[in-house]
Amino acid sequence: MKISGEDVTKVADLARLTIDNELRDKLSAQIGNILSYVDTLEKVDTRDVVPTTHALSLFNAFREDEVKPRQGSGTDQALANAPMKEDGCFVVPKIIG
């Protein structure tokens, strides 16, 4: 399967990545190669085969919904690495014009 430069740009955009023309062309060729290889999967008969999402049968991990005490301030910890913060909140560029 080939992937056009236009498609690469579109998918990059969906993934919130900007790519210049040079990279677009390079990725279009490389990803095209990889997808052509992946297309060998078409040869496998998978009728009625249940897809695997986890290799081992796992059970959902339930617990009581209760507040547990934690050390220190949760907010401070959550914000510790934020590039911008103010009054216990993350700061982002203006969203509403």
Partner 1 sequence: MTLYNLTIHEAADLLHKKEIRPKELAQSVFQRIRSLDEQIGAYITVTEEAAMIQADQAEQAILNGTASPLAGIPISIKDLICTEGVKTTCASKILENFVPTYDATVIEKLKSQDAVFTGKVNMDEFAMGSTTENSALRPTVNPWKPNHSPGGSSGGSAASVAASMCLGSLGSDTGGSIRQPASHCGIVGVKPTYGRVSRYGLVAFASSLDQIGPLTKDVTDAALLLNAISGYDIKDSTSAPENVPDFTRNLKDGVKGLKIGLPKEYFNTDGIEEDVRSATEKAIEILKSQGAEFVDISLPHTAYAVASYYVIAPSEASSNLARYDGVKYGIRDMDQSELLSMYKETRSKGFGLEVKRRIIIGTYALSSGYYDAYYKKASQVRTLIINDFKKAFETCDLLLSPVSPSPAGIIGEHSDDPLKLYLSDIFTISANLAGLPAMSVPCGFTKHELPVGLHLMGRHFDEATLLKTAYSFEQATEFHKKRPQI
Considering only residues 14 to 53 of the shown chain, the ones binding partner 1 according to CB under 8 A are 14-19, 23, 27, 30-31, 33-35, 37-38, 40-44, 46, 49-53
Minimum distance from residue 19 beta carbon to partner 1 (Å) = 7
Record the tokens describing residue 34, joined without a space. Answer: 């990889």
Q: Does 69 bind partner 1 (CB under 8 A)?
A: no
Residues 3 and 28: beta-carbon distance below 8 Å? yes
Cα 77 from chain centroid (whole Å): 24
Alpha carbons within 13 A on the beta-carbon side of 56: 3
Residue 68 structure tokens: 């547990």
Which residue ranges make up the site for partner 1 (CB under 8 A)? 3, 7-8, 11-12, 14-19, 23, 27, 30-31, 33-35, 37-38, 40-44, 46, 49-56, 58, 60-61, 63, 77-78, 80-84, 90, 92-95
